[in-house]
Amino acid sequence: MRLRAIWAGLLGLFLFAVGAVPEANAQGVPPGSYLRSCRDVRVVAGGRDLSAVCETRQPGRFEFTRLPDFRSCWGDIANINGNLRCDRRPGPPPGPAVRVPPGSYLRSCRNAVVGPAGTLWAECRMMNGAWVRANVNLNQCRGSRDIANINGRLVCNW
C-alpha cells in the first residue's frame, strides 16, 4: 500500500513537470533550468522582466522573485535558492564603437561585440543547439584567415 502511494506521488510529480514546461513555453517565457523549480512564470513590465514563484533550498518553501531585463542574460536562467539569476552580457566597450571582425563564426554566433583589450565576445551555438558565451583575444588572431565557432568556442583558423 505504501509503495503504491509513493508511485502515485512520483507519477503526479512527473505529470506536473511535463505539463508545466509546455505551458511556460506557450506564454513566451525564456527557456532555462529555473522552469524545473519555479511556477507562475510570467513576462512582465512590458516584456522586460521575468517574474516567478520559485522553490528555495527548503523543500516546499517558495518565494516570489523577479529578474529585471532578462533579455540581457547569457545562457541559462537559474533558480538560486528562490531567486532568479543569470549571467549578463558584457556591455559595449567605452569609447567609439569597434566593428566586429568578419569570419565564419558570424553564421553560428550572435550579439558579437569587441570589448576592452581587443577581446571578441559572442553568444555561440554548440552542436547540441545550446547557446554559450565565447570569447577570443583578437591580438592572437592577427594573420589568421578566419575566426570560427567550434562547438561554442571561438578560435583563430590559420
The domain locations on the chain are 2-88, 104-157
What share of the chain in percent tops pLDDT 70? 75
Helix (H) or strand (E) holding 49: strand 49-55
The whole-model pTM stands at 0.46
In three-state secondary structure terms, 91 is coil
CATH number belonging to the domain at 2-88, selected among 2.40.50, 3.90.930, 2.30.60, 3.30.1490: 2.30.60
Terminal Cα-to-Cα distance of the chain (whole angstroms): 67
Pick the more confident residue, 12 or 78: 78
Which pLDDT score is estimated for 6?
55
- CA atoms of 48 and 118, how far apart (whole Å): 30
Which pLDDT score is estimated for 97?
57
What mean pLDDT comes out for the span 132-154? 91
**What digits encode the pLDDT tens for the residues 24-50?**
433 478 888 899 999 999 998 888 899
